[in-house]
Amino acid sequence: MKLTRTSIKGETNDSVFRMATIFVVIVAALLPARVFAASAYIKSVAPGLIEKADVAYGGLVDVAALLYNVDPELILAVIIVESEGNPKALSRRGAEGLMQLMPNTAKAMGATNPKEPLQNIFAGTKYLKELEESYGFIDSKEDALVAYNMGPARAKKWLARSDPKEYPYVVNVMYVYALLEERKRVNVQSIQGGLNKLAMEFTDVIVPTAQPMLSRPRSLSLRAFPMSIPSGRRLEAKQQD
């Protein structure tokens, strides 16, 4: 079979995607035991969804995170659990888009078209920040996630008698969040290792010792000057020498 450039590129992308998925699966096996309370479905689909969502929306997530000072890994985890990265997702209750915003919430956060990824991500991130600042869910990510899922008024009542870490929605989001955090840590270590190796290779290069630009002038006799000098000064020069 004759391979075209397009087919080769496609096979390369598939190979990279498979390797990334295998990596996330391995990372999942190393996570603390408590995160395995996540649903079996989320554990089975999270590795693939992470890579797809990051490629499709990672840039928008980073901008929104910077704009509203929200953890980008948390935003991406919410996207994956809420909609599996589907911008056209629509729940039975009417929540729309990547971060599953209810119509009134989307409008309040400035989104005119919740199915548009940029608007949805920015509005959802703004809502997460508002839950923290305006409603006081600042003690933990888990508290804010409960409020994001059930609304701030219901969340306050629920949190007064229950542990947010036992709430299924929170467990699923934090499972994906843990995968993302571990992936980031490994990536940082890999980059740092590359930089360290580059630095060691650079120091092995023999660099000639730099000569000082200025040095103390040597003592010169007046006889060394080529110009003619008056006879009186010439006599003084002889006596000095």
- Which residue numbers are catalytic? 82
What are the φ/ψ torsions at residue 126 (nearest 5 degrees)? -60, -40
Total residue length of the chain: 241
What are the φ/ψ torsions at residue 90 (nearest 5 degrees)? -140, 120
* Residues 84, 28: Cα–Cα separation, whole Å: 18
Q: How far is CA 108 from its chain centroid?
A: 28
* Residues 95, 103: Cα–Cα separation, whole Å: 7
Q: How far is CA 218 from its chain centroid?
A: 60
* Residues 152, 157: Cα–Cα separation, whole Å: 9
Which of 151, 142, 144 has its CA nearest to residue 170? 142
DSSP result, 104-141? HHHHHTT-S-TTSHHHHHHHHHHHHHHHHHTS---S-H
